[in-house]
């Protein structure tokens, strides 16, 4: 038998999924591991949503590439209620926002600016799509949006070396830092995008998990509606990541329509249509019936309580922690403890610290380097189980009274 005469293109497992696998391996060996790497809400799925999915289980046919009319109308309503008037024809559904983001990068077809730090997959997806990810630092204390001045500079420099920069990705609210960029920063970033002809991809998957009640999240779609794509999903606020359902809101006007056509072309070659039962459940979820809206609100309060308590403990231990304003992540920087960690444990980098936490203490987290930044930071999920135990019953009770 002749061996195959080439090696496949090396594509490493995404850092978040790799940590999942490492945890699963250790669990199979009978070790206890606290999974704080992967971005899961750690709350139970609402029974009304499960019922809706069960009722749709008989739907086995393919549907329209863009998604069902019911889902597109519901998602349009969701965005319209958040101050982004949306026509159902501007909505495209997919099997999660991750594949939608990849399909968008493929449809846009050029280099892309990503914030530093930012969610692990933007840069990896850009590279897979044959584009160059250009990292631009965020303003101090404001995660998720590249600093407008640095963005302009990076685009000019990349173009001067022949790169075709076409898009900038932002995360509002941010993962990994859990912070929310200011309206002013978003507005200034949008004017840079307009001046340099960039598409803005605004990943707003954590929009409904803002800790302070009533606080609004800025969206570039308000400042640059002609060039902004917004994405969201059921994964985080409704804890239904495994259901794989996301939606994109394409820009207004001729460019938006052309981009939608290209996105549908890519989608038609990759997933054909999002899973039909999930679309029906998602149509129900995006209509925001009171029982789901209350569930999201309770989980928002729960995440706020847990994130605040865990941030305080890290700060008391001497780490530098920016207090998260949304979502369920903490991004503590162990820089101030560098000497202590080196002397006590031989730890030099965040990757060393991640390994130590997994091997010795059974805690799975991610190093800041996975997010393209901060050699001494870690990203950890602040799971409700940290304060309320692992089983659903405890977490449900905690949901009912997160204070
Ligand atoms: N965007 C961000 C910022 C995320 O943190 C995640 C999940 O971790 C995703 C997108 C992917 O979500 P989905 O489950 O919709 O593919």
Residue 10, in any domain of the structure = no
| Edge-to-edge strands, sheet with 366-367 | 329-330, 378-381, 366-367
* Any ligand 1 atom below 6 A from CB of 174: no
Place of tokens 């009274």: 401
User: Are 242 and 104 contained in the same domain?
Assistant: yes
Residue 200, in any domain of the structure = yes
The SS3 of residue 167 is strand
What percent of the chain clears pLDDT 70, i.e. is strictly above it? Answer: 96
Q: Per-residue pLDDT tens for 237-257? A: 999 999 999 999 999 899 999
User: Are 261 and 325 contained in the same domain?
Assistant: no
Residue 50, in any domain of the structure = no
User: Are 279 and 295 contained in the same domain?
Assistant: no
Which of residues 234, 262, 287 is at a domain's end? 287
- Give residue 41 CA to ligand 1 midpoint distance, Å: 11
Which of residues 263, 287, 311 is at a domain's end? 287
* Any ligand 1 atom below 6 A from CB of 94: no
Closest Cα to residue 252, out of 274, 282, 279, 220? Answer: 220
User: Are 238 and 355 contained in the same domain?
Assistant: no
Residue environment code for 234-245, b if the CB has 16+ CB neighbours within 10 A, otherwise e: bbbbbbbbebbb
- Give residue 373 CA to ligand 1 midpoint distance, Å: 19
Q: Per-residue pLDDT tens for 103-162? A: 999 999 999 999 999 999 999 999 999 999 999 999 988 999 999 999 999 999 999 999
Number of domains in the chain: 2
What pLDDT shows up at residue 17?
Answer: 80
- Nearest atom within ligand 1 for CA of residue 235: 14
What pLDDT shows up at residue 393?
Answer: 53
- Nearest atom within ligand 1 for CA of residue 175: 3
Q: Is the dihedral of CA 272, 275, 279, 285 positive or negative?
A: negative
Best probe residue, ligand 1, of 15, 17, 35, 39 (max atoms within 8 Å of C-beta) = 39
What pLDDT shows up at residue 288?
Answer: 98
- Give residue 72 CA to ligand 1 midpoint distance, Å: 20
User: Are 302 and 392 contained in the same domain?
Assistant: yes
Residue 52, in any domain of the structure = no
User: Are 298 and 281 contained in the same domain?
Assistant: no
Q: Is the dihedral of CA 145, 150, 156, 158 positive or negative?
A: negative
Q: What is the CATH number of the domain that holds 66?
A: 3.40.640.10
Which of residues 242, 263, 287 is at a domain's end? 287
pTM over 0.90: yes
User: Are 274 and 345 contained in the same domain?
Assistant: no
Q: Per-residue pLDDT tens for 181-231? A: 999 999 999 999 999 999 999 999 999 999 999 999 999 999 999 999 999
Residue 8, in any domain of the structure = no
What pLDDT shows up at residue 217?
Answer: 97
Structural domain for 257, as ranges: 60-287
User: Are 271 and 148 contained in the same domain?
Assistant: yes
Question: Structure tokens of 229?
Answer: 């794509």
**Cα(31)–Cα(346) distance, rounded to whole angstroms?**
23
Whether residue 399 has pLDDT greater than 60 = no
**Cα(254)–Cα(261) distance, rounded to whole angstroms?**
11
- Nearest atom within ligand 1 for CA of residue 244: 14
* ipTM of the prediction: 0.99
Res. 403 pLDDT band, cuts 50 70 90: very low
Residue 7, in any domain of the structure = no
Closest Cα to residue 239, out of 34, 57, 50? Answer: 50
User: Are 166 and 272 contained in the same domain?
Assistant: yes
User: Are 326 and 346 contained in the same domain?
Assistant: yes
Q: Which residues on adjacent β-strands are paired with residue 114?
A: 135
- Nearest atom within ligand 1 for CA of residue 327: 5
User: Are 298 and 363 contained in the same domain?
Assistant: yes
Q: What is the CATH number of the domain that holds 392?
A: 3.90.1150.10
What percent of the chain clears pLDDT 90, i.e. is strictly above it? Answer: 69
Phi, psi of 329 (to 5 degrees): -125, 155
The count of other CB atoms within 10 Å of the CB of residue 91 is 25
* Any ligand 1 atom below 6 A from CB of 285: no
- Give residue 58 CA to ligand 1 midpoint distance, Å: 28
Residue 9, in any domain of the structure = no
């Amino acid at each position: 038998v002749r061996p195959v005469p080439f090696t496949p293109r090396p594509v490493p497992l995404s850092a978040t999924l790799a940590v999942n696998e490492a945890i699963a391996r250790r669990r199979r060996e009978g070790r206890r591991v606290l999974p704080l790497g992967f971005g899961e809400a750690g709350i139970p799925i609402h029974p009304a949503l499960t019922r809706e999915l069960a009722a749709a289980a008989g739907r086995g046919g393919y549907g329209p590439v863009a998604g069902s009319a019911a889902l597109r109308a519901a998602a349009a309503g969701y965005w319209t209620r958040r101050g982004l008037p949306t026509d159902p024809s501007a909505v495209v559904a997919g099997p999660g926002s991750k594949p939608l983001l990849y399909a968008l990068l493929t449809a846009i077809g050029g280099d892309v600016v990503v914030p530093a730090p930012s969610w692990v997959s933007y840069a990896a997806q850009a590279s897979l799509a044959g584009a160059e990810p250009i990292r631009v630092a965020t303003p101090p204390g404001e995660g998720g949006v590249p600093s407008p001045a640095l963005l302009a500079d990076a685009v000019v420099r990349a173009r001067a070396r022949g790169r075709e920069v076409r898009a900038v990705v932002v995360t509002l609210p941010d993962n990994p830092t859990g912070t929310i960029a200011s309206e002013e920063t978003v507005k200034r970033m949008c004017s840079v995008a307009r001046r340099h002809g960039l598409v803005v991809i605004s990943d707003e998957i954590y929009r409904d998990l803002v800790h302070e009640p009533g606080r609004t999240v800025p969206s570039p779609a308000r400042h640059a509606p002609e060039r902004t794509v917004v994405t969201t999903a059921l994964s985080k606020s409704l804890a239904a990541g495994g259901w794989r359902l996301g939606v994109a809101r394409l820009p207004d006007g001729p460019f938006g329509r052309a981009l939608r056509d290209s996105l549908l072309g890519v989608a038609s070659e990759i997933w054909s249509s999002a899973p039909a039962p999930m679309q029906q459940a998602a149509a129900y979820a995006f209509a925001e019936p009171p029982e789901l809206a209350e569930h999201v609100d309770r989980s928002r309060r729960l995440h706020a309580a847990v994130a605040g308590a865990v941030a305080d403990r890290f700060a008391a231990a001497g780490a530098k922690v920016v207090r998260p304003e949304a979502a369920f992540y903490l991004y503590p920087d162990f820089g101030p403890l560098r000497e202590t960690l080196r002397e006590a444990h031989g730890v030099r980098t965040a990757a060393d610290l991640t390994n130590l936490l997994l091997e010795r203490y059974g805690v799975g987290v991610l190093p800041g380097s996975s997010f393209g930044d901060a050699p001494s930071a870690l990203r950890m999920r602040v799971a409700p189980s940290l304060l309320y135990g692992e089983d659903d019953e405890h977490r449900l009770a905690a949901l009912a009274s997160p204070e």
